[in-house]
Chain A
Amino acid sequence: MRSSFQVLLILFFLGFSLKSLAQEKKLAPENDLCLKCHTHQTFTFHNTLTKHDDRRMMNPLYILDMDRLTSGVHAKFKCTDCHSADYAKYPHNAELKLEPLSTCLDCHGGDKKYAVYQFEKIDEEFQKSVHFQKSGESFTCSKCHNQHYYQAKSRNSSVVGDIVSFSNEMCMSCHSNNVKFQLISDTLKPALSQIHSWLPNQALHFKNVRCIECHTRVVDSLSVSHNILPKSKALNNCVECHSKNSMLKASLYKYKNLQIRSEGGKLTSIISNKSYVIGAYQNIALNYISIIIFLLALAGICIHLIIRIVKK
């Protein structure tokens, strides 16, 4: 019994170390040196004045989460693909921070490989958005899309909950964080629960629906609309989602990986549906059965009534 426990323990740690090896393998080996400091709470450097090795706390904003980095779309990138090559020199030159970073379109714009993502169209839509209107160029893609950790969740995940929480975290990173909110605004962030007080079952909606469902308008060719609307144009009409023609079918449930949910009618597709919007799914089979029962009841009553009148 004891030995089998030991074997299990060894297997567990073996599995664990294999996982971390694989994880590290996914990242570019050139990044090892950077990550040596930028994944740790502390770093050591040689102080040329005191001639001693000093250990200091790392600025928490510069600590990367290895798990999220490995799952991100840019996992295989070298740090210097986006950051200046001069960062290879250590200690880093303070002036490097002033250099503008490459923007998303610098790489993704005009590249056929990324045509499917329609970066130009995204940019066009974004320029209409309240974010661009208020903040202009200083509102960069990275304000929402963290380049280190970004995942194409809405395209690839089939779990609605994951898509929703990943998407809403982008909004919440500023809209529930005053410090970050004030990077682009001089006011405090609006109290979300207060301005959404009209919304029934607020907590459930926040958990199961993306903010952008009501705060953007779907543009047919785009997966995710980037035209974030001003507050006055946000959707607050329940029936737009809670009906047979639910607009969620054109947004959250539009992706191929989720399309089966929006097709409705097929019991199997609804049965395997962990996320359900009241009113948006019409089970065609049940609808037909109910109409047949209703007509049979009416027919029975009519026949009975006629015989009653005739035999009176």
Chain B
Amino acid sequence: MTAENKIYFYPIWLRIWHGINALGILILIFTGINMQYSNPKFELINFQFIVNLHNIAGILVTLNYLLFFTGNILTSNKRYYRLKLKGLIKRLNLQIGYYTSGLFKHEQPPFPLSEKRKFNPMQKVSYLIVMYFFVPGLIITGLGLLFPETIIENVYSVSGIFLTAIFHASLGFLVSIFLIVHLYVASIGKNPLNNFKSIINGYHDMDAH
């Protein structure tokens, strides 16, 4: 493997952000599921500990999100998130076609990664949705639940806390699904561990997809 085949894809700030985010979100999902299905008669881990851990991880991920957000404003990393709507459906279809068929026939990917293109169209759309809608939504509802006195008491006749809680849990669930798919798709590379190594050492192997 020569140096020319590698691109420095993930600057150090991004890898730190990604590492903290991965750890934080794993803790949040684990503690979140524990709270959702808590049972006083069958307490695996102390409930209060789980709640505290969820709160601390939530605050950590929130502060970390600021790093992601400002990092993307200040550095050139933002260009990877710019989405051109024109022809988007066609590009998405091409990418879906690759994942569901072309990949198995060992065809070349329709959007090979380069210094100008870090994400394929599916990645770009899903990352945009997750990082600019789901995660901020979770942060806002999470902060609301952390300070419930700030939540509107009743929205028409429905409890504001109920709406916030159900929105928070639903978004959390969707992020969990994203995480599972994200981890699986990351295993599609030259070899299954290739992309995981990239996000740690920063270099993307161009021989991998």
A interface residue numbers (CB < 8 A to B)? 201, 203-204, 237-240, 242-245, 247, 270-276, 278-279, 281, 283, 286, 290, 293-294, 297-298, 301, 304-305, 307-308, 311
Q: How far is the CB of A127 from chain B (nearest CB, A)?
A: 28
Report yes or no: B103 in contact with A301, Cβ–Cβ below 8 A.
Answer: no
Report yes or no: B39 in contact with A273, Cβ–Cβ below 8 A.
Answer: no
Q: How far is the CB of A95 from chain B (nearest CB, A)?
A: 52
Q: Evaluate whether A238 and B51 lie within 8 angstroms (CB atoms) in the complex, with A279-B38, A297-B180 already known.
A: yes
Contact partner of B159 (CB less than 8 A), chosen from A239, A242, A273, A305, is A273
By a CB distance below 8 angstroms, the chain B residues around A238 are 47-48, 51
* Among A243, A293, A308, residue most surrounded by chain B Cβ atoms (within 10 Å): A243
Report yes or no: B41 in contact with A298, Cβ–Cβ below 8 A.
Answer: no
The number of chain B residues touching the other chain, given as a range, is 35 or more
Report yes or no: A294 in contact with B177, Cβ–Cβ below 8 A.
Answer: yes
Cα(A272)–Cα(B165), bound, Å? 16
Q: Evaluate whether A243 and B165 lie within 8 angstroms (CB atoms) in the complex, with A297-B180, A301-B180 already known.
A: no
B5 on the interface (CB 8 Å rule)? no
Q: Mark B2-46, 1 if CB is under 8 A from A, else 0.
A: 000000000000000000000000000000000111111101000
Cα(A272)–Cα(B181), bound, Å? 36
Report yes or no: A239 in contact with B162, Cβ–Cβ below 8 A.
Answer: no
Cα(A307)–Cα(B100), bound, Å? 10
Report yes or no: A301 in contact with B40, Cβ–Cβ below 8 A.
Answer: no
Chain B interface, >50% SS class: helix
Q: Evaluate whether A240 and B177 lie within 8 angstroms (CB atoms) in the complex, with A278-B145, A308-B104 already known.
A: no
Q: List 8 A-B contacts (CB under 8 A).
A: A237-B47, A238-B47, A239-B40, A244-B38, A245-B40, A271-B157, A274-B157, A279-B38
By a CB distance below 8 angstroms, the chain A residues around B165 are 276, 278
Q: Which residue of A lies closest to B177 (CB)?
A: A297
Given contact pairs A275-B159, A276-B161, A308-B103, a sample of 20 additional A-B residue pairs in the complex whose CB atoms are under 8 Å apart: A203-B149, A204-B148, A237-B40, A239-B40, A243-B47, A244-B37, A244-B38, A271-B157, A271-B158, A272-B158, A273-B159, A273-B162, A274-B157, A274-B158, A278-B161, A286-B170, A293-B177, A304-B100, A305-B184, A311-B105
By a CB distance below 8 angstroms, the chain B residues around A203 are 149
Q: How far is the CB of B69 from chain A (nearest CB, A)?
A: 28
Contact partner of A279 (CB less than 8 A), chosen from B35, B105, B173, is B35
B154 on the interface (CB 8 Å rule)? yes
Q: Evaluate whether A307 and B104 lie within 8 angstroms (CB atoms) in the complex, with A293-B177, A297-B177 already known.
A: yes
Q: Which residue of A lies closest to B48 (CB)?
A: A238
User: Nearest 4 CB-CB pairs, A to B?
Assistant: A276-B162, A239-B47, A276-B159, A311-B104
